[in-house]
Amino acid sequence: SAIEETLVLVKPDGVQRNLTGEVLARIERKGYSIVDLRMVQAKRDQLAAHYAEHEGKPFFESLIEFMSSGPIVAVRVAGTRCIEGFRSLAGTTEPTTAAPGTIRGDFGRAWEDGMVRNIVHGSDSPESAQRELAIWFAD
Ligand code: DAT
Ligand code: MG
């Protein structure tokens, strides 16, 4: 399976700040293909499924609330090693210290309310990618 697919989400902060095009441009510039894309207002159960691994953690409820706070752009991305490759483009979770040159490093920062707003999500493994793509591109 040479060509992988991954799920990218432009989170509500990214959409609200008009960074959708910037994120898509970086994906394309890297050489990956956008094969499907949709804007959605996420449902709670969709988000709970997407973030199931974090259920019970202290930030879970605020994460779901943040992800429900506005529209999301879900993107099906294809390319050789694009799962790892997009994680590299995105940068590390915490935007304060994410490397400059990454999406989170270039556009994210810490907020006084403690909510982590880091613009994008990218699947972290082939298993996650298949599971998450099924959630966001169900029909
Ligand atoms: P990533 O999105 O880099 O895969 P993750 O899967 O560990 O990171 O967490 C999912 C999201 O949850 C992350 O993008 C932001 C939020 N988050 C993670 N750890 C957090 C924490 N300690 N406090 C608040 N929000 C957190
Ligand atoms: Mg994750």
> Interface pTM (ipTM) of the complex?
0.98
Give the per-residue pLDDT at 2. 82
- What does the block give as tokens for 111? 């907020």
Q: How much distance in Å is there from the Cα of 7 to the middle of ligand 1?
A: 16
Instruction: Look up the CATH number of the domain holding residue 110.
Output: 3.30.70.141
Torsion of CA 122, 61, 59, 23, to 10 degrees: 30
* Ranges in the chain, pLDDT < 50: none
pTM: 0.98
* For the CA of 118, the nearest atom of ligand 1: 14
In whole angstroms, what is the distance from residue 120 CA to residue 87 CA? 10
* Residue where the block lists tokens 């403690």: 114
Q: How many domains does the chain have?
A: 1
Give the per-residue pLDDT at 1. 64
Q: Would you call 50 a catalytic residue per the annotation?
A: no
Half-sphere exposure of 43 (CA within 13 A, CB side): 5
Domain that residue 44 falls in:
3-136
Catalytic residue among 5, 10, 121, 133: 121
* Residue where the block lists tokens 């880091």: 118
Give the per-residue pLDDT at 75. 99
Torsion of CA 92, 136, 69, 48, to 10 degrees: -80
Q: How many CB atoms are closer than 10 A to CB 78?
A: 14
Give the per-residue pLDDT at 101. 98
